[in-house]
Amino acid sequence: MTGEIILSAEQLTVGYGKTPVVGEISLHADAGEILCLIGPNGAGKSTILKTLIRQLKPLGGVILMEDAPIADMKERDLAKKSAAVLTGRVDPELMTCEEVVETGRYAYTGMLGILSAHDRETVDEAIRTVGIEEIRERDFNRISDGQRQRVLLARALCQEPQLLVMDEPTSFLDIRNKLEFMGILRRLVREKQIAVILSLHELELAQKFTDRIACVKDGVIAEVGSPEEIFTGQTIRTLYNVEHGSYDSLYGTVEGERNDAPPRVFVVGGGGSGIPVYRKLQREGIPFATGVLPENDLDLPVAGALASVVITGPAYEPVSAERADEALEVLKRCEKAVCTVKSFGSVNRENRRLLDYAAEHGLLENVKK
């Protein structure tokens, strides 16, 4: 559940010099919420984030931190309220991970940067929170990208911010570290009730880990809404001008471009078993058909995206003889057939006729693992 508004932008215009990049921005970040910016490369997401943390001067409008303009705040006061992890390699020389984390306390220390007992407790807590106890004494320049991002997140947490701003924080990470990093961030937002504004290129992470989405395109915020509102219909295809291939808004997956030529291979699939074969045929440029698939079958989203012909039947009902006859006519015009299902039951019993025909006429090929 989100809380009070931590930061808001009203009629904000951002850009470089006198050249605007994105205008008429009205956004707010709430405590306990992750607000995610998505959009094509060059749309202005990083420019927005840099302006929100005062790295760039706004060309118009106002940015408020708890109703106070950030333009009027002293640097040290702003550093106590907001922290940033931006794109780009941080390259501190001869510093351990712990020493990098400690720099997050400089907004609270004196001129000499001497840490108090409370400062060290804060550093220890941040290190434990992001799970980097085992590497705290290691050279920062000798750790992995995933470990670096955790160290930088710990440094940001040491500022005890109400707002955390992050620019593509998962870009250099493998899938394991992406999931672990977003899981840590999700837990922090929930437990510490901080507000997070970040940008992501990985739409599946934006869809599954964030609370609100702001779509940046053509110099404006085109749409703002929950993941359930944004990841539906044509919104993502329109946002990214997807012309080749497809994007499934329900599952957050992308597929290659369909070959619409007459099918050469017929796949008797279902229950998700046909998906690897569909993708293999698409990669090899071989047009294919499949069926009969119920309208709620796990195969259907990928089959619909890649197959030149898909024969479907009503959900929750057995495949009808009529649909099987239709599929059989398509199969007869194919050069080969592949069966990916291991058994036939009451729902897909009619599909057994397809397998039998393919076997009798020498069309059936084994699925290659």
User: Could you read off the pLDDT of 45-85 as tens digits, one per residue?
Assistant: 999 999 999 999 999 999 999 889 999 999 999 999 999 99
pLDDT at site 368: 56
Going by their DSSP bridges, the two strands 212-217 and 33-38 should be labelled as parallel
% of the chain with per-residue pLDDT over 70: 97
Q: What is the mean pLDDT of the chain?
A: 92
Across the range 349-358, mean pLDDT stands at 96
pLDDT at site 88: 62
pLDDT at site 250: 75
Q: How far apart are CA 211 and CA 174, in angstroms?
A: 23
Higher pLDDT, 233 or 44: 44
Higher pLDDT, 317 or 88: 317
Buried/exposed 186-202: b ≥16 CB within 10 Å, e otherwise: bebbeeebbbbbbbbeb
pLDDT at site 162: 95
- Residue that the structure tokens 């060309």 belong to: 59
Residue 214 has pLDDT above 80, yes or no: yes
Across the range 12-26, mean pLDDT stands at 95
pLDDT at site 166: 96
Across the range 208-212, mean pLDDT stands at 96
Higher pLDDT, 124 or 91: 124
Q: pLDDT, tens digit, for every residue of 229-278?
A: 998 878 888 999 888 888 887 777 889 999 999 999 999 999 999 999 99
pLDDT at site 89: 59
User: Is the sign of the CA dihedral 103, 177, 210, 186 positive or negative?
Assistant: negative
Q: pLDDT, tens digit, for every residue of 101-137?
A: 999 999 898 767 789 999 999 999 999 999 999 999 9
pLDDT at site 9: 96
Q: How far apart are CA 276 and CA 167, in angstroms?
A: 34
- 3-state SS string over the chain? CCCCEEEEEEEEEEEECCEEEEEEEEEEEECCEEEEEECCCCCCHHHHHHHHCCCCCCCEEEEEECCEEHHHCCHHHHHHHEEEECCCCCCCCCCEHHHHHHHHHCCCCCCCCCCCHHHHHHHHHHHHHHCCHHHCCCEHHHCCHHHHHHHHHHHHHHCCCCEEEEECCCCCCCHHHHHHHHHHHHHHHHHHCCEEEEECCCHHHHHHHCCEEEEEECCEEEEEECHHHHCCCCHHHHHCCCCCCEEECCCCEEECCCCCCCCCEEEECCCCCCHHHHHHHHHCCCCEEEEEEECCCCCHHHHHHHCCEEEEECCCCCCCHHHHHHHHHHHHCCCEEEECCCCCCCCCHHHHHHHHHHHHCCCEECCCC
pLDDT at site 245: 82
Q: pLDDT, tens digit, for every residue of 156-190?
A: 999 999 999 999 999 889 999 999 999 999 999 99
pLDDT at site 105: 93
Residue 198 has pLDDT above 80, yes or no: yes
Residue 1 has pLDDT above 60, yes or no: no
Q: What is the dihedral of CA 88, 94, 99, 105, to 10 degrees?
A: -60
Q: pLDDT, tens digit, for every residue of 281-295?
A: 999 999 999 999 999
**Phi, psi angle pair for 266, to nearest 5°:** -110, 130
pLDDT at site 369: 44
pLDDT at site 253: 81
Q: How far apart are CA 342 and CA 270, in angstroms?
A: 10
